[in-house]
Amino acid sequence: MARKKILLVDDSKTALLMEQMILRNGPYQLVIAGDGAEGVAKAVSELPDLILMDVVMPHMTGLDALKELRRREATKEIPVIMVTTRGEGENVEAGYASGCNDYLTKPIDSVALLAKVRDYLGE
């Protein structure tokens, strides 16, 4: 079975490490981007099956990156889960308004993250 590709977009090396540790035993190919602009570029070049995206990042926020992904034909259908410390209601609403499919808050709950990843990847 082909490995599903997941793009992890976060400026926090700690958050990226946590996500990698949670997902590393699954049948996934992990691609890393350190900010929103790099995330958009990697999404276009790699066409992942799922994107985990932080909100607060330098160069381009996760919400701006998400809007850009939704504008592009090649990436508009890729499911995006926002993974962020910003769990306040208005931030969650902004995430969904920008086009995210789901929303998780940090610190990352590994069980919840794996459940959502499996849901979106049809496992």
What confidence tens digit (pLDDT) does each residue in 96-120 have? 999 999 999 999 999 999 999 999 9
What is the total count of domains within the chain? 1
Q: Which helix (H) or strand (E) holds 83?
A: strand 80-84
Tell me how far apart the alpha carbons of residues 17 and 14 are, in angstroms, rounded to a whole number.
5
β-bridge mates for residue 81, sequence order? 52, 102
What confidence tens digit (pLDDT) does each residue in 19-55 have? 999 999 889 999 999 999 999 999 999 999 999 999 9
Q: What is the CATH number of the domain that holds 104?
A: 3.40.50.2300
Q: Which residue has the tokens 């699954």?
A: 26
pLDDT at residue number 86: 86
Enclosing domain of residue 89: 4-121
Mean pLDDT of 3-26: 95
Q: Write the CB contacts of 88 (distance below 8 Å, at least 6 apart in sequence).
A: none
Q: Are residues 117 and 111 in contact, defined by beta-carbon separation less than 8 angstroms? A: no
β-bridge mates for residue 5, sequence order? 29
